Chain A
Amino acid sequence: MEWQTFLRYLGVMAGVTYLIRAVPFVLSRGKITNPFWKSFFDYIPYAVLGAMTFPAILYSTDGVLSAVAGMMAAMILAYWKKGLLTVAAGACIVDFLIQLFV
């Protein structure tokens, strides 16, 4: 690919991605007081992460079976309130072991 072509793609890609993040962050000032929208924005982070994780996690590695095992490991560790890194590493290790032995 010619570097001019690459730069055009890169510019559009990075520009759109940046503006989507920055513009709402810059423009939205002042706390929301409307109870409905306040609740809405309290829920959004968890709803987004939930929708992103399931069912995508099942297809995140080479095998669905090992991914299910990794997912269960993550759920158990998270239920015990382990930290981000412990949970992520636990999921990877269990997934790897299942791929190795099954």
Chain B
Amino acid sequence: MQEIRQGMKDGIPIALGYLSVSFTFGLMAVSVGMKWWQAALISMLNLTSAGQFAGLEIMVTGGTLVEMALSELVINIRYALMSLSLSQKTDQSFHTVHRWAVGAGITDEIFAVAMNRKTDISRHYMYGLIMLPYFGWLAGTLAGALLGDVLPEMISSSMGIAIYGMFIAIIFPKAREDKKIFMVILIAVILSCGFRWLPAVNRLSSGFVIIICAVAAAVIGAFWDLVCEKKESERIN
């Protein structure tokens, strides 16, 4: 019970952040011709920002199912990395059936907050953590779909930055404390800027770019750790 409550508390800021992003999704879905309940169904069954925006585009332009599957695969494959990473931090309470259930709720922000926890995570904590963001995601979608036109354009535009503000709030304090994490983030950022701004490579999809940048930066960091450890053990011997 304590764990569920702690999870829910940690989920509040994520839920509020999601309201703004899913609001934009609902707004957009209706504006390209979807029904409000279709937008809501998409949000309930997907719970992913970039993937939903891309999927919406494919539906509207009449893309093929293969195209849909491939786009979702590429954009969301980062979740596979996160799932692997997160399963390193789970305690014994995670039986198979709970893994199948919690697996549906692993998003960028939920993952980041769970990883930030000092101790191993229990299934109760994860259920608590996922609950409010899930309803926030749905509520925002509904609100955007049903009453999107009421909000002045400037406010809805400013809300687009919220999700990135949350990411910064997660990575900055860590980068400040740990020089290696700072370097790994810096490498990932430089690569990602390169993919965005350099000609030729800037045609890659954002899902691919994120994977390439993150894996490259984490591999460099991990190699660096190996080298440092070796030096350390040589010094002791």
Q: Which residues on A are within 8 Å of B, measured CB to CB? A: 1, 6, 8-10, 12-14, 16-18, 20-26, 28-29, 31-32, 35-41, 43-57, 60-62, 66-67, 70-71, 74-75, 77-79, 81-93, 95-96, 99-100
Scan residues 106-140 of chain B and give those whose CB is less than 8 A from a CB of chain A.
Answer: 106, 108, 111-113, 115
> In the bound complex, what is the Cα–Cα distance between A44 and B20 (angstroms)?
26
Q: Which residues on B are within 8 Å of A, measured CB to CB? A: 12-14, 16-17, 20, 33-34, 38, 41-42, 45-48, 51-52, 55, 58-59, 65, 68-69, 72-73, 76-88, 96, 99-100, 102-104, 106, 108, 111-113, 115, 153-155, 157-176, 180-181, 184-189, 191-193, 196-197, 206, 209-210, 213-215, 217-219, 221-223, 225-226, 229
Q: Which residues of B contact A45 (CB under 8 A)?
A: 82, 85, 111-112, 115
> In the bound complex, what is the Cα–Cα distance between A93 and B173 (angstroms)?
21
Q: Is the interface of A mostly helix, strand, loop or mixed?
A: helix
Q: Which residues of B contact A78 (CB under 8 A)?
A: 168-169, 171-173
* Least distance between A79 CB and chain B CB atoms (Å): 6
Q: Which of A35, A43, A79, A89 has a CB less than 8 Å from the CB of B226?
A: A35
> In the bound complex, what is the Cα–Cα distance between A62 and B52 (angstroms)?
21
Q: Which residues of A contact B100 (CB under 8 A)?
A: 22, 26
Smallest CB-CB A-B distances: 6 pairs: A22-B103, A91-B165, A78-B172, A87-B169, A88-B165, A39-B222
Q: Is the interface of B mostly helix, strand, loop or mixed?
A: helix
Contact A57 B45, beta carbon cutoff 8 Å? no
Contact B154 A99, beta carbon cutoff 8 Å? yes
Q: For residue B155, which residue of chain A has the nearest CB?
A: A96
Sample (8) of A-B pairs whose CB atoms are under 8 Å apart: A21-B83, A22-B103, A25-B86, A44-B218, A46-B175, A47-B187, A51-B189, A91-B162
